[in-house]
Structure 1
Amino acid sequence: MRNFILFLFSITIIITNNLYSQNNKKLDSEIASFLDTLKPETFSGIILVGKNDSILEERTYGYSNIENKIKIDKSTKFHIASITKSFTAVGILKLYEQGKVDLNKPIGNYIENYPNQRVLDSVTIHQLLTHTAGTKAIYGEDYQKSNKDRYRELEDYLPLFANDSLNFQPGSKYEYNGGGFVLLGLIIQNVTGENYYDYLQKSIFDPIGMDQTKALEIDGVNYNTADGYSIYLREDKSLAKNDYLISKASGASGYYSTAEDLFKFSKTLRNYGLLNKGTTELMLKPKVKCYNTHLGYGIDIDKRYEETIIGHSGGWYGIRCEWMDFSDSNYTVIILSNFDNNGQQEVSDFFKTKISRKLEVK
Structure 2
Amino acid sequence: MKIYKSYNSNKRKCKGLKSDTILIIYRYTALKTLMIIKIKIYTITTFLMLTIFAFGQTKDAEIKSFLDNLKPSDFSGAILVAHNDKVIEKRAFGLANIEYGIQNKVDTKFNIASITKMITAVATLQLYENGKVELKKPIGTYLPDYPNKLVRDSVTIHQLLTHTSGNNNNLDFWKTNNLKYKNVSDFAERFKNDTLLSKPGTKYDYSASGFVILGLIIEKASGHNYYDYVRENIFKIAEMTNTSELDIDAVVQNKASGYTTFLQEDKTPRKNEYYLAKTSPAGFHYSTVEDLFKFSKALRNYQLLGKETTALMFVPKVKGYNTNLGYGIDIDLRYNQTIQGHSGGWYGVRGELMDFMKDNYTVVILSNVDDDGKSGTSKVSNYFKELIAEKQPEK
In structure 2, how many angstroms separate the alpha carbons of the residues matched to 1:270 and 1:49?
16
How far the C-alpha of 1:172 sits from its partner, in A, is 0.3
In structure 2, how many angstroms separate the alpha carbons of the residues matched to 1:320 and 1:208?
23
Q: Which residue of 2 aligns with 1:65?
A: 97
Q: Which residue of 1 aligns with 2:16?
A: none
How far the C-alpha of 1:244 sits from its partner, in A, is 0.9
Q: Which residue of 1 aligns with 2:10?
A: none
- Choose which of 79, 82, 88 in structure 2 pairs with 1:56: 88
In structure 1, how many angstroms separate the alpha carbons of the residues matched to 2:340 and 2:287?
19
Q: Which residue of 2 aligns with 1:126?
A: 158
User: For 1:332, what is the secondary structure of its paired residue?
Assistant: strand
Number of equivalent positions: 360
In structure 2, how many angstroms separate the alpha carbons of the residues matched to 1:190 and 1:241?
36
Say whether the 8 Å CA contact 2:174–2:276 is kept in structure 1: no
Q: Scaled by the length of structure 2, what TM-score is found?
A: 0.90
How far the C-alpha of 1:167 sits from its partner, in A, is 1.1
Q: Which residue of 1 aligns with 2:12?
A: none
Q: Does 1:285 align with 2:318?
A: no
Q: Does 1:343 align with 2:376?
A: yes
Post-superposition Cα deviations, 1:112-159, rounded to whole Å, max 9, x if no partner, equal 32210110100000000000000111213xx23121111101111122
The residue correspondences of 1:43-122 to structure 2 (distance < 5 A) are: 43-122=75-154
Q: Does 1:275 align with 2:305?
A: yes
The residue correspondences of 1:209-288 to structure 2 (distance < 5 A) are: 209-288=239-318
Q: Which residue of 1 aligns with 2:342?
A: 312
Say whether the 8 Å CA contact 2:110–2:286 is kept in structure 1: yes
Q: Which residue of 2 aligns with 1:361?
A: 394
Post-superposition Cα deviations, 1:63-94, rounded to whole Å, max 9, x if no partner, equal 11000111111221000000000000000000
In structure 1, how many angstroms separate the alpha carbons of the residues matched to 2:322 and 2:284?
24
The runs of 5 or more residues in structure 2 that have no matched partner are: 4-32
Q: Which residue of 2 aligns with 1:203?
A: 233
| Amino acid of the structure 1 residue aligned with 2:381 | S
| Amino acid of the structure 2 residue aligned with 1:87 | I
| Amino acid of the structure 2 residue aligned with 1:178 | A
User: For 1:216, what is the secondary structure of its paired residue?
Assistant: coil
Say whether the 8 Å CA contact 1:106–1:124 is kept in structure 2: yes
| Amino acid of the structure 2 residue aligned with 1:42 | D
Q: Does 1:173 align with 2:203?
A: yes
In structure 1, how many angstroms separate the alpha carbons of the residues matched to 2:259 and 2:314?
33
Aligned-residue CA RMSD in angstroms? 1.0
* Percent identical: 52
Q: Does 1:12 align with 2:44?
A: yes
In structure 1, how many angstroms separate the alpha carbons of the residues matched to 2:187 and 2:284?
12
In structure 1, how many angstroms separate the alpha carbons of the residues matched to 2:344 and 2:249?
23
User: For 1:40, what is the secondary structure of its paired residue?
Assistant: coil
Say whether the 8 Å CA contact 1:138–1:157 is kept in structure 2: no
In structure 1, how many angstroms separate the alpha carbons of the residues matched to 2:174 and 2:280?
14
Say whether the 8 Å CA contact 1:213–1:256 is kept in structure 2: yes
In structure 1, how many angstroms separate the alpha carbons of the residues matched to 2:238 and 2:379?
31
User: For 2:82, what is the secondary structure of its paired residue?
Assistant: strand
User: For 2:284, what is the secondary structure of its paired residue?
Assistant: coil
User: Rg: which structure is higher?
Assistant: 2
Q: Which residue of 2 aligns with 1:298?
A: 328
Say whether the 8 Å CA contact 1:137–1:161 is kept in structure 2: no
User: For 1:310, what is the secondary structure of its paired residue?
Assistant: strand
In structure 1, how many angstroms separate the alpha carbons of the residues matched to 2:354 and 2:277?
26
Post-superposition Cα deviations, 1:231-251, rounded to whole Å, max 9, x if no partner, equal 112221111110111111110
How far the C-alpha of 1:347 sits from its partner, in A, is 0.3
The residue correspondences of 1:150-161 to structure 2 (distance < 5 A) are: 150-161=180-191
User: For 1:157, what is the secondary structure of its paired residue?
Assistant: helix
In structure 2, how many angstroms separate the alpha carbons of the residues matched to 1:61 and 1:45?
5
| Amino acid of the structure 1 residue aligned with 2:301 | N
